[in-house]
């Protein structure tokens, strides 16, 4: 397994805000001057890729993914639980617990439910590798959980970075069904593994891991960017996707024009 060095923690200073009496914590970076002044309030939840041991940063891609999460608007993470040390929920974290943390963050009037009485928020859910599927699962739960009123079932942006998961630890899923309550899917992936792809044998599994094909339904707008489709980024491997996706993802949430994105694949609609 190819290990990537940790990024220096030289991120913008963050202001930590406790959201209610629960265990959600929101970090909000200082408002950037180039952000649309009329942009809606955003919150973000992140789900990291698989790691062999407890330390997610021992596996390639997760440190770059963590840096991206820290730069995202209104990051909601686990302030007091299993993942308190990280800006994301780890691959083997309980998605129901992540949902509990999210409810506390969104429930601004502290009545236990998320409705139109709470501050409106555009929610971003971001997942890398195994975490891409955990993010998908969280989004699906938002659509059915009794604590969310129907008016709050929507997730503005699902950002999936090389989503990959196996069934019974062996069989790779071919597609990733995108829940219909997603406003826009932004997937960034690689579909052809370079010879030295970090994921050929990694995390106790036999790779390589390439991003799964999104399948969209309903009114969800879907974008599927593929680094493997152009010479300039054909060597981007599984561990390299978070770093290469960082600039366009930040442009997306800052409502800026996209620069330097790889070619887009046509998305299946079912
Ligand atoms: Ca509420």
| Average pLDDT, rounded, for the chain | 87
Range of the domain at 156: 38-269
Ligand 1 centroid distance, CA of 68 (Å): 29
13 within domain boundaries = no
What pLDDT is recorded for position 260? Answer: 84
pLDDT per position as a tens digit, 146-195: 999 999 999 999 999 999 998 766 667 789 999 999 999 999 999 999 99
The pair of three-digit structure tokens given for residue 241, joined into one six-digit string: 């996707």
What pLDDT is recorded for position 39? Answer: 67
Look up the pTM and report it: 0.86
Q: Residue 263 is part of a domain; what is its CATH number?
A: 3.40.50
Beta bridge partners of 25: 18, 77
| Average pLDDT score over residue span 38-43 | 84
21 within domain boundaries = no
111 within domain boundaries = yes
Q: How far apart are CA 5 and CA 61, in angstroms?
A: 9
26 within domain boundaries = no
Ligand 1 centroid distance, CA of 169 (Å): 38
Ligand 1 centroid distance, CA of 120 (Å): 11
Q: What's the total number of domains in the chain?
A: 1
Ligand 1 centroid distance, CA of 21 (Å): 13
148 within domain boundaries = yes
Ligand 1 centroid distance, CA of 23 (Å): 16
- Tell me the CA distances in angstroms from 87 to 37, 76, 157, 194, one per residue in order: 26, 8, 18, 29
20 within domain boundaries = no
pLDDT per position as a tens digit, 85-120: 999 999 999 999 999 999 999 999 999 999 999 999
Strands laid side by side in the 75-78 sheet: 14-18, 24-29, 75-78, 42-47, 122-128, 155-161, 182-189, 221-226, 264-265
Strands (DSSP E) found in the chain: 14-18, 24-29, 42-47, 75-78, 122-128, 155-161, 166-167, 171-172, 175-177, 182-189, 201-202, 205-206, 213-216, 221-226, 264-265, 268-269
139 within domain boundaries = yes
Asked whether the CA dihedral 156, 88, 66, 36 is positive or negative, the reply is positive
């Amino acid at each position: 397994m190819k290990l990537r060095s940790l990024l220096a923690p030289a991120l913008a200073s963050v202001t930590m805000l406790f959201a209610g009496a629960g265990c959600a914590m929101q970090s909000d970076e200082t408002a950037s001057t180039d952000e649309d002044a009329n942009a809606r309030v955003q919150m973000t939840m992140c789900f990291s890729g698989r790691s062999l041991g407890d330390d997610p940063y021992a596996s390639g891609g997760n440190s770059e993914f963590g840096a991206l999460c820290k730069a995202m608007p209104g990051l909601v993470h686990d302030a007091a639980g299993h993942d308190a040390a990280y800006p994301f929920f780890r691959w083997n974290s309980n998605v129901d617990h992540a949902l509990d943390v999210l409810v506390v963050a969104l429930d601004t009037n502290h009545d236990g439910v998320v409705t139109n009485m709470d501050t409106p928020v555009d929610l971003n859910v971001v997942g890398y590798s195994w975490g891409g599927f955990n993010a998908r699962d969280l989004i699906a739960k938002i659509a059915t959980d009794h604590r969310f009123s129907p008016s709050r079932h929507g997730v503005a942006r699902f950002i999936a970075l090389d989503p990959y998961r196996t069934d019974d630890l062996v069989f790779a899923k071919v597609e990733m069904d995108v829940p219909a309550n997603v406003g826009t899917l932004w997937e960034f992936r690689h579909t052809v593994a370079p010879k030295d792809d970090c994921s050929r044998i990694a995390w106790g599994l036999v790779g390589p891991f390439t991003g799964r094909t999104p399948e969209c339904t309903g009114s969800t707008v879907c974008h599927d960017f593929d680094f493997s489709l152009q010479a300039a980024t054909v060597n981007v491997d599984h561990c390299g996707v978070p770093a290469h996706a960082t600039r366009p993802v930040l442009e997306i949430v800052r409502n800026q024009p996209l620069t330097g994105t790889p070619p887009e694949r046509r998305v299946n609609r079912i």
